[in-house]
Structure 1
Amino acid sequence: MAVTLGIYYITPWLRWDRGPHAPDQAVLIDMANRRFYFFFVEIWPQEFIYIAGLLVMAGVGLFLITSVVGRAWCGYTCPQTVWTDLFLVIERFFEGDRNARIRLDKEPWTGSKIAKKLAKHATWLVIAVATGGAWIFYFADAPTLAYNFATGQAPFIAYATVAVLTATTYVFGGIMREQVCIYMCPWPRIQAAMLDENSLVVTYNDWRGEPRMRGQKKAKAQGLLPGDCVDCNACVAVCPTGIDIRDGQQLECITCALCIDACDAVMDKVGHERGLISYATLADYNHNMRVAMGGENSGAIDPSNVRDQNGNFVDAIRGFKWREMLRLRTIIYTAAWAAIGIALLIALGTRDRLEVNVLHDRNPVFTTLSDGSIRNGYTVKILNMVAEPRTITLTLDGLPGAVMAINGIDAEPGTSFDIPVEPDKLRPLRVFVSQPRDMVAPGSTPFSFIVEEGEAGETDIYNANFEAPE
C-alpha cells in the first residue's frame, strides 16, 4: 500500500530536465499541447501506437500474473483494494480493531461515538480530496496548478475532476468496499479462463485441516484424531470480502492472503506448521487430498494418512515447486509480453524526431495560371519533435520543371527552402507547386516533399501527387 500510494501521490512532483524549451515535469499528460511526457520519452498524438502497445502489455501481463498467482493484482495493487486498505487503516486508528468496532456500532450515540465517527469520515474525505488532487497534477505543472487551485484560479475542469474523484473514492473505498469487487468488477468473471490446475491460488488445505475441532487437547485425550484447524474463524474475520476460504475457491476471493497471515499466526500459537491456508495449486491439492483419503478420490480425510508417528508430514505429501510456473501457458504469455516490449523499445529507440505531413487542396484540385502552367496547393506540416529550435530544409523532388512558393516566406519560387521551426512544435505551411504547361503530364503525377536537418542527419519523405487536366 505504501509503495503504490507513494507512486501515485509523488510522481507528479518529480522533475526531469528536458532543456529550456520543454516542461520539466517527469510525468505529464499535456492535453493543451497534445504531448505525453514520461521521463526521457516524449509521445506525440500520431505516436499513440506506443501507448496502445503499453496497454496491450498491461493486458498480457495481467493474464500472465493471473495464470501464475491468481488474482494477485486484485489483492495487492488494484486501486480499489489499495484505497480500501488505506481507509481501513484510518478506521482502525479511530475506532479500534474489528471487535472494538462491532461494540462501538452497538453502543448508543454518545459524544465519544459521534467524535470518532466524524473524525473517521473527515479523514476519509481529506484522503479522497487528495486523491482527486493528485490526479489533476498529472495534466499540468503540479506546483503551478496547486497554487492556482488553492487560490481559485484553476480551470473549472480541475475542480470538477477533483469533485468527481473525491466522491468516487469516498464511496467506493469507504462505503462500498468489497461490494465493488463482488458486483461491479468484471475481472472475477473472467479470471477462471486464466487459471489452470498449476496456478497458485489461496487454498485451505483440507487434507491437513480436517476434521476441524476446538479444544484439540481434550479431543486427543478422548482418542480422537483432529486436523490442524482449530475452527477459530480468524480467516473469516480478516477476509475483506467476507467469505470463508475453507469452503474452497470462490468468485469473491481477491487473493489478498490476509487469511494466510491470520491462520499462520494461530498455527504459531498452537504449535503447528504454518501453511494450513497457503498458496497452492489445484494439482498439488488434489494429490494431497488423495493421500489424506488413503488413495481414494472421495471419502473421509484421515489425519493419520498425512503425518507419521513423529508428527511430521509423510513423504507422499507434495508441496509447490517453482518450476511448475514454467509451463506452456506462462511461457507463451511471457514470450508475447517480452516480444511486445522489445518491439516497442526498438521502435522508440529508432524513431525519427523529424516528420512531414502533406494535405492536398480538395477544391480546386488544380489551377491553370495565366501563362498556362498548372498549380497545385498543399498544406505542409513540418514536425520538429525535439526540444530545441532547428532549421529544416524543405525540398521538392521528382516533378520536372516544377517550383514551389510558400506563403509568408519572402523568396523567389524554387525547389528548396530553409524553414525555421520552433522547439517541439509543428509548423504548418501553405505551399503552392507550379509546373510549366509543356512539362505537365495528364492526370496524377507522383512526386516527393523531402525535409532534412543537417546536424542530426534526419530525413523524412512524403510522397504526394500533382494533379493536372486529363
Structure 2
Amino acid sequence: MTALPTKSQHKPAAAVAGVSAAALSDEDIPLYEARRQIYPQSVHGRFRQIKWIVLAVTLGIYYLLPFIRWDRGPDAPSQAVLIDFPNRRFYFFFLEIWPQEFYYVAGLLILAALILFLMNAVAGRVWCGYLCPQTVWTDLYMAVERMIEGDRRERMRADAAPWSMEKFAHKTLKHSVWLLIAWWTGGAWVLYFADAPTLVVQLATFQAPAVAYMSIAVLTFTTYTLAGHMREQVCTYMCPWPRIQAALTDEYALNVTYLYDRGEPRGSVKKAAVLREKGLPAGDCIDCDQCVAVCPTGVDIRKGLQLPCIQCGLCIDACNTVMQKVGRPGNLITYDSEASLEARLAGKPFVQRIVRPRTILYAGLIVLVSGLMLTALLGRATEGVAAIHDRNPLFVRLSDGALRNAYTLRLTNKKLEERSFILSIEGVPGGQLEVIGDNADGLVVGPDQTREIRVLVTTHDKLAPSASLPLTFRLRDKASGLTAAVTDHFIGP
C-alpha cells in the first residue's frame, strides 16, 4: 500500500541515522512514500470461505456463460448471452433487446447503482471485498502465487534472497500462469460478441477477425497488470468508489471494525494476565499484527476505518484464530457500526438498525425501477412502425389540384417468424395511401427484421387553415391483429 503522509508524518532516513530532523530543509523531505511490497498471508475462516465461494461462482459464470446454448428457433443465434453488433441485437436467454430499446440497458445500470447504494448502506464496501472484479481476479492471482512461491514468509524470504535457478523457475512459472489466466480472461470476453464455439475454433486456427486478437491482447495486458502487479493500488487510487461510498454511508452501516474499547490497552498474553490479576485494565489485543499480515491492501484496521480497506473480513478470520488460541472471546474485529460502538462506550443499549429511512429509500427505488422495467417488458410490442416526412419538398401540388406528401416508413418485426402487415392511414380527409413498389394490404417483413418502404399520401380535400393535419400510420398484423401506430403530419400550402 502506498501511503500519502504529510511532511510532519514522514520520518526522514537521515533522522534515523542520527541526523537532526531540524537540520533538514523542506526540500529534503519527500512528500510521497514509495510503495512497499505487500505479502498477504493465507488465512482460514468463515469470511475466507465466503470469498472462495464467490470467486468460484463469479469466475465460473464469466468463463462458462458464453458456451450455454438457448434455442430461439431456426435462423436465430443459439447462444444464451450474445452481444451481436453486426445485427444490432443483445440476446439474454429469452430476451432480445433491439437498439431502440436501449432504455432496458439504462434501467439495468440504474438498478445496479441502486443495489450498490443499498449494499453500502447495509454493510459498507461489501461489493469491494467480495464481488468486485479487481478483488476476485487479485484473489485468484494471490492463490496462484501462494501455490508456486509459498506463503507470506517464504515469499518475503525468496524476494530478499539473491537470484538463483530455483527463484527464476518459480518466478517464471508464476508469471506464465498469470499470463495464461489473463489471456483466457480476454478470450472469454470476446466470446460474448460472437458464437463462442465457432470463435474458439477460429482463434485456434488463426482465422478470427483481427479485432478479436486485439481485444484479447488488451484485456490480457490489463488483467495481468491490474491483478498481478498493481493490486491494492487500483483500490486505493484508481477506483472512485471508495470516495463515493464515503459520502453515502452513515453511522448505522456495518463495517469491519476493531473494537478498541475491548482491545485496548494492547499487550502480550502474560502482561494482560498480570494486569487482570491486579485489577487493572487489560485489552484482548495481543498486538500480534496478524490482522495486518492477512490484509490484501496492508491496512491496520486497529487505526480505524481507512480508504484502502476493502472490507473483505479476512482480518476478522485472522483475529478470531488468534483469540481462540489465547483463550479470549472472538470477534475483537467484527462487522459493527459506528453508532453501536458509540452506544457501547456510553453504556447505552443499542439495537442495530438495518431497516431505516436510507435503506427503505434505496429498496423502494429498486422495487420501483424493477417494476417499471418489468411492466415495460411484459407490455413490449413485437411490431413497430416509424415515419419520416420528406423535407424537400414538404408537399407537391398535382395537376388535378390534389396535394401529396411523401414519407419513409420503417416497419419492425421482432418475432422470429415472417409476418404480413396491413398499412392504413387516419386523420387526413379523403386521404389515399400508396406504397411504392408494393401493396399496402400485404407488406411482408422477415423474421427478426426491419423493412423500409416509401409511402405517398394524397388528398383532394381542402386542408384546414393551419395547412397541417395530424396523420396516423397504423400497422396491423394480418394473423394476430396486433397493431402499432405512429403519428406525423400531412402538410399543405
> TM-score, normalising length from structure 1?
0.89
1:397 CA displacement? 2.4
Whole-Å Cα distance in 1 between the matches of residues 417 and 296 of structure 2?
53
1:17-416 aligned at under 5 Å gives the runs 17-216=71-270, 219-220=273-274, 223=278, 225-291=281-347, 321=352, 324-409=353-438, 411=439, 416=440
CA shift digits 1:57-102 (9 cap, x unpaired): 1111111110110000011011111111110011001000011100
The alignment partner of 2:328 has SS state of coil
The alignment partner of 1:101 has SS state of helix
Q: Identify if the C-alpha distance between structure 1 residues 230 and 347 changes in structure 2 by more than 3 Å, giving closer, same or farther.
A: same
Q: Which residue of 1 aligns with 2:490?
A: 466
1:195 CA displacement? 1.3
Conserved in 2, the CA contact under 8 Å of 1:393 and 1:452? yes
Q: Which residue of 1 aligns with 2:441?
A: 417
Conserved in 1, the CA contact under 8 Å of 2:272 and 2:282? no
The aligned amino acid for 2:441 is F
The aligned amino acid for 1:402 is G
Find runs of 4+ consecutive structure 1 residues off by over 4 angstroms.
438-442
User: Pairwise CA RMSD of aligned residues?
Assistant: 1.7
- Segment drifting more, 197-206 vs 142-151: 142-151
1:135 CA displacement? 0.9
Whole-Å Cα distance in 2 between the matches of residues 238 and 131 of structure 1?
26
CA shift digits 1:231-265 (9 cap, x unpaired): 11000001111110000111111101110111111
The aligned amino acid for 2:306 is Q
- Segment drifting more, 264-273 vs 355-364: 264-273
Q: Which residue of 1 aligns with 2:62?
A: 8
CA shift digits 1:353-372 (9 cap, x unpaired): 11100001111112233333
Whole-Å Cα distance in 1 between the matches of residues 272 and 282 of structure 2?
10
Q: Which residue of 1 aligns with 2:24?
A: none
- Segment drifting more, 235-244 vs 389-398: 389-398
Conserved in 2, the CA contact under 8 Å of 1:381 and 1:426? yes
Q: Which residue of 1 aligns with 2:14?
A: none
Structure 2 residues not aligned, in runs of 5+ = 1-54
Whole-Å Cα distance in 2 between the matches of residues 317 and 452 of structure 1?
68
Whole-Å Cα distance in 2 between the matches of residues 129 and 389 of structure 1?
42
- Segment drifting more, 126-135 vs 398-407: 398-407
Whole-Å Cα distance in 2 between the matches of residues 71 and 6 of structure 1?
23
Conserved in 1, the CA contact under 8 Å of 2:124 and 2:311? yes
The aligned amino acid for 1:96 is G
Whole-Å Cα distance in 2 between the matches of residues 110 and 371 of structure 1?
98
The alignment partner of 1:452 has SS state of strand
Whole-Å Cα distance in 2 between the matches of residues 245 and 218 of structure 1?
21
CA shift digits 1:101-142 (9 cap, x unpaired): 001101111111101000100111111111111111111111
The aligned amino acid for 2:211 is I
Conserved in 2, the CA contact under 8 Å of 1:264 and 1:275? yes
- Segment drifting more, 208-217 vs 2-11: 208-217
Whole-Å Cα distance in 1 between the matches of residues 108 and 272 of structure 2?
59
1:219 CA displacement? 4.3
Q: Which residue of 2 aligns with 1:447?
A: 471
Q: Which residue of 2 aligns with 1:304?
A: none
1:468 CA displacement? 1.8
1:403 CA displacement? 2.0
Conserved in 2, the CA contact under 8 Å of 1:216 and 1:230? no
The alignment partner of 1:42 has SS state of strand
Q: Which residue of 2 aligns with 1:427?
A: 451
1:206 CA displacement? 0.8
The aligned amino acid for 1:183 is Y
Q: Which residue of 2 aligns with 1:296?
A: none
The alignment partner of 1:383 has SS state of strand
Whole-Å Cα distance in 2 between the matches of residues 88 and 141 of structure 1?
32
The aligned amino acid for 1:233 is D
| Number of aligned residues | 436
